[in-house]
Structure 1
Amino acid sequence: METLRLPFFYVEDWDNISLEFKHYFEDAGTGLTAKIQWSEDGTNWTDAAWEITSGNGNIGPETVSVDITGFNSNSISIAFVLEGNHNQFLGWYVDDIWCYNVDSPPPSTSPITPVNGGLVYNGASLIWDEVPNANAYRLYFGTDNPPTNIENGLSIVGNLYVPEEYLDEGTSYFWKIVPYNSFGDASGCSVWEFTVRKLNPPVNLFGEAFESHVQLSWEIPFSTLDSLLIIDRDPNNSSGPEIKTTLQDLGYEVTFKTNFPEIIDPYAAIFTCLGIYSSNHILTEGEGQQLADYLNNGGNLYMEGGDTWFYNDPTAVHPMFNINGISDGNGDLNIIMGIDGTPAAGMAFNYNGENNWIDHIAPMGDAYLLLKNDMPEYGVAVVNTNDELYNTIGASFEFGGLVDGTLPSTKETLMIKYLQAFDLFGKNSIDASYKSVLGYNVYRSDDNGSTYSKVNTQPIIETEYVDIAPDIGMYYYYVKAVYEEGVSIPSNIDSVDVIVGVHETETFDISICPNPATDEVMINSAVPILDISLYNTVGDKVYYQPVNNRSIKIPVSKFNQGIYYLKINIGGNIAIKKVIIRR
């Protein structure tokens, strides 16, 4: 009988040893035996209490744990052994081998998902490698580092943790796993980090109170890949329209605003124009904080202004550009040149802006200078794209003041360089990888917005909802989009003042029979019915039918027993009727 022995471990000063490994035994049917052996002198070998023999089919892949016992000395060798006829041997594959002292704490573990430093969508679970000799794992998790403010040493059996609440988008989280057993905690356990990516919310929620219900409607979330926002606060609008035209010529969808919208997070990039003294806008603290929050949620921001970098007071967003304001300038801006070794190399623009007296700027940290004034030489545009979460471009000249020359010295080419810095060039249509919306959840507050409760039972597929539950009072609403990866941040909040409680309307000559009903309901009206919807008592729409007739018969046999409300659209007017379904 042939013996193939591969010594693998030499262990010193261990009292009790356990060997763990993953393997696959490819059966050749030749009477071959695989086993584990140990030796105190390297010559005499003893079988451990585990072996497999060919002839029983392929084995594995499986994980095996073998205890090594019966030795007297403090140092032994451990080997993987094959005994029998090797001529027709197909294979024994061994991987992920662990050898540890049973009377000791377990080793440390590694993250599976999220990977350290990674970006995840909301709803992600924490998964780590299981390690041998561990009875359980302690989880430390939070936005603080070391992490404790969400979970502080939570004991978990297994290698999975699912957060009870959805995490804050654009926020970095820290976590640490400490395997342990009766002999103590693992040592050398690292803290890992991940950042939650954005899932775009619905926009433009609008609520309206009727005599008998609240009608809510909203728009679908923006695609993060094709929606750009221009905020033109320059009183003369010297650059905003030019930026808009250039982006549209490149095929991008552009929203143009002269004031800050309430919601800016869904946009892939924002171009903010502040103007040049004396026709300029000084960024307010609130506006600066809104832009800083946008960047912290993973945005891309271009901001231009002749006085915002040195002369005007900074806001929360200014340090995020890594720009050093050198001086107020001397009215000597003339030819704007691209910096060699940057994407703008070879560019040269004559400048014809409304004012040549602009801030002189320079890069700090990892930012770099993109454009400069020719003579005298000073910086006029700085790019900061080395941050993992956001990208910025800051300029002290006006984009609209650039005079197109020969290629590459055109505003369109420069805009392409800006978009490339934001990793957005070529992404002017919805990418197939963009997450699709599965539905929406509606949340309502009756305590002035202090607490909100979800009012629908299942995600709403359409972008409207009829809330028939509120009594008289002021109510606040927001909507979240539901994705496979999780739930978005809230939409804008809208308040609705309900001055009449829910009841049936008697404004129109409408008959419903039978009521209560079991199989079908017949609705008749003196004037044509445009369409009809049926809602349950929590506001879920369970039936809809266009009509364009004075009568309609709707089936109700598939609905559960209970109270329902018919929303009948008659010539643009709405009537609400209660229907009882019995079984």
Structure 2
Amino acid sequence: MNSVFCNPKTWLGILGTAGLVLACSGEQKETLSDIPSVGDTGTLVAPPQAAQDVTQGGSETIVSQVFYAEGEPCTPPTSQVVINEIMIDPNKVSDAYGEWFEVHNPGSTQINLQGWKIRSNGQADHTIVSSIVVPPGGYVVICRNSDPNLNGGVTNCAYGWSQQGGGISLANTTPDTLELLNPQGAIVDSVAWDASSSRHAPVGRSIALKHPFLDNSSIVFPSNPDDPASWANLNFGASTNQWGDNTDYGTPGTRNIDVWKVIEHEACNDNEICTYDLCEAGACHYEWKQNCCHSNADCNDNNICTQDVCDQQTNTCSHTHIEGCCTQNSDCVDENPCNYDYCLNNTCRHSTYNVVPGCCWAPDVDPATGQPWDPPEKKQQYADSQCDDKNPCTPDYCDLQTNECKAGPPTQGCCTTAADCDDQNPCTWEDCFQYQCRRTQLYNCCVQDSDCNDNDPCTTDRCIMNACRHLFDSTTCCVSDAWCATNADDHNPCTDEKCLYDPQVGIRTCQHVYKSFCSVQCPYEQNFNAASNFQEVGWKVYDFGTNAKNNWHLTETGSLGPDKHVLFTWNPTTVLVKSVNVTPFVDCSNAQADAYNPLKTATLQWRMAYKHYQQGQQVTLKVVGTDSGDYEGGTVLWQTTTDKDIEYDLYSVQLPSHLKFSNLLQVGFMIETNSTIYLDSWQIDDVRIAAGVPNEVMKVKLYYCLTDNCRIAPGSTESAFVSESTGGFPDLTIALGEKYRYLICYKDRDAMDMAWNFYGYPEVYLESAPLDYPPFITPVPLSGTSPCQTLRTIAQTLCGDPDAMFICMMDVKPGNDQTVAGVYRVAFATYDEYDPVKPKHSPFESLEKATINVLLPEGYLVWSPLGPSEPSAQAILQAIRANGRPAQIITSLDVVQDLSQYDGVFATLGVYGRYHTLTAHEAEILKDFLDRGGRLYLEGGEFFYTDNMQPETVLHPYFKVTAISDGQVKIDGPLAGRNFLDTYTFGYSQSPLYNAWNDKIAHTPGEGGREVLKNNGQNKFTVAVTYDSGAYRTIGSSILFGGVQTGGSTPVQLMAKYLYFLENGYPPCSADAQCEDDEVCTVDSCSNNVCSNAQIPNCVPCSDDRQCQEDQACNVAKGYCVD
């Protein structure tokens, strides 16, 4: 080691010659000091040690001591060799290659480790077979593998025990001991550690002894062993030194400089306060303490600009900088960046004036006063005064952030010559006077239209060749009513065009004034798309009961959207309603003289959908016609009284003789109800009144396509006839990859070739919302691009009927994409006459609906008798698919010939207010499915309690469910899982779509059903029961899956559990709670992931004493009889 103490022996000689005996107080023991900084050479530095007095019995005890010189022998207070550092858990390489430990020889003679043994807990000793010499005060590294290319870069391994057949490994997370034994078998040194999974060896860091003299017999791992700071108060430390390009930390083969603590040896005391008294390699050694001194001379730092002083009270040096002293120019840089700073004769000098071009600056205090700037703006002014670009038109200022002089933008209007004033405006004359521009505007001159504004809204102001012109603007101002009728007609028969003063803009404008008497001509067609209110299109609401005008709306929402339509809604709630919405007057007198109206009739047609709310509460819907304004007593053209939904459809009514040619015809849509809360909505659209009658579908032929061309003709080999339906479309069940073609035969009692020529030909299309319009249903071009053929001979031949007027064809080809599987409710609509550029004559259409079932060959069926868009059915479908299984919705069980080809059926029946009562036929189908080993999930809020809406069926016993009651108004939730759903929790929707008087259920005792889901709210009861017969499996639920909401678990996770049960039965258990069978006479337990439900001997379940023997009583709390 190098020492900054010049010659400590000199001090000792002087002291010895003087015959002085020095004394220090305290027991003979070692003193530890943390080293504030450590050099790579291992030189030690530490703060001075404070003297301590040790007193006994109140009086000071003085112990004589001899002072030793450099190199004098000393005895280390430790063993012959010391295990000084251990890498237990390397990170760069595996333990099998990267483990090592370091041995230190604290003595004065070398030690050869050949023949010594290495021992670790539970492993065979390894004898070192090679010569390994540890020099005095030296270190050697013993590695598991000595190859630095394999061991993580430890280049100074003296030995590799695994390469010599040693099988020793060091435990990371379990207790272990590393021992060194001499050839005689005596343990020379050992290190033990009590590791665990929570307190373990640091990863990638060696464990280094902070001084070889410290007790190394035991390593105590801190709670955060990978943080070196957590080892602060321990004898060992986690290394912070990375060597070479290694990512691991350690000091293999050298002093543990990164964790080192100084330990002074009392036998080496030189009585010099400024040295550390050390015993190294069996000899005394002294090192001067950094910044320690006896006189000023000891503090010389060779810096001319510091005053070096030794504080002899504390024996510490201080180095105070001499103000203004320098050794080079860079020492003199001041806060002014603009001047020249230099060093002359070790004194700083600064130029008086700025020498950096364009530089400016201001000090933090006012140079004139030495005080802060007052006001603060003076600092900027001081800096600005240093800037001048010699241009009178630019404001010069100093940017104090960059200390640069800058010129601001030229002052507006400042100039030095007339050229500076050129604004490129041909309408101004410019000159420069006293540095100010003067501009004179030339009369009536302009450069753009805005220069010519005369503030007259009825003129268009234009700039033409730099001269203003003011032209009358007929688009913003009007001249007369006649002018408006010619130039601003909105083509609305219910408005007059008037030239009126508009106070908001202050001019006369064309305005569209509603007529008090509005009359339109046949053909009349109102789709409401252009209307912003009823008055605008001549419609008006009349009430013969409570005012319900606020219940009528024009809207784009609802099932008849997204185009605009009429909506009568329940909100605001209104009672005793009899309200009618009436068309304008329709003049159909022209229908009588219509040459293309051979039947001499007129027809009313409209689209409509109705959604009910409260079952059992009826609502009456009417369509009335009148030519006298008597809407309440007018002719009833159509009427229904219902407490159910009415599916969207197109309605047609031939007008009676007294109305069909009237020039004052009005049609009203009337609703009668005791309360609007009975319904949800009534929607009306596309109201049409015209001469003639609409076309009719007389029959539909269905063909299976043998080729993609699928030609239909007598003797064709490209198609095969399947079936024929009279008066409408047959429903179709089709598999993926198949193709069918509909041949549609029409009769049209008033169709005429001449009318088709003038007004357009028939055309079929697939109706859109609110019905389905899947892209795999497409029209077939028959005549050019038209999907219809009007040659009567072809129609009669293919239809086999002399009344056939024309035919159309539609293809159904779903392809092979499994996501299109499902139920589609579609409608085929056919125009009487269609040509978008020709005038309207017969706006009528026919509309026929059909159900298309596209079936998957496998997977799960979701049976939704309430319709394919039922929310709970959709939720089930998506959750099954989210769990990686194919699934589809069907609305009828009859569309599938064999349910057993599917993995299972999910049936959703709804809740009170919207419930499908399971029929005996449907129950037989599902029973047969279960009898053949099927898997069935069934949900319904009214299914299990059979005293109300749902009668008992042959299917009920298969669920092993006992209905407790008809439920309560709302399930409050949350839902809590039981059995294999143990620990699962969910919310439950409060919407009446899912939550309305849902049945309270329980498992039927003794029959094997298990309660897996409960309402865990204020009123606790079961809502789902599973049953596994061994042949079939069922899940019965009184709640709807669509109402389940995410809580601690998600609906998709719930579906995963349900699917596992249906496919595999009850899953393996991990806790007794997952085996609960809710039987009072069984002990439920889980062992080796298998449930056991052991019967209690002689146990009799009971609910009262009558069910027990005479010498027993019923313990109602436990549910069984007791002695």
Q: What range is the shorter-chain TM-score in?
A: 0.3 to 0.5
Which is higher, the Rg of structure 1 or of structure 2? 2
- Structure scoring higher RCO (CA < 8 A, sep ≥ 6) equals 1
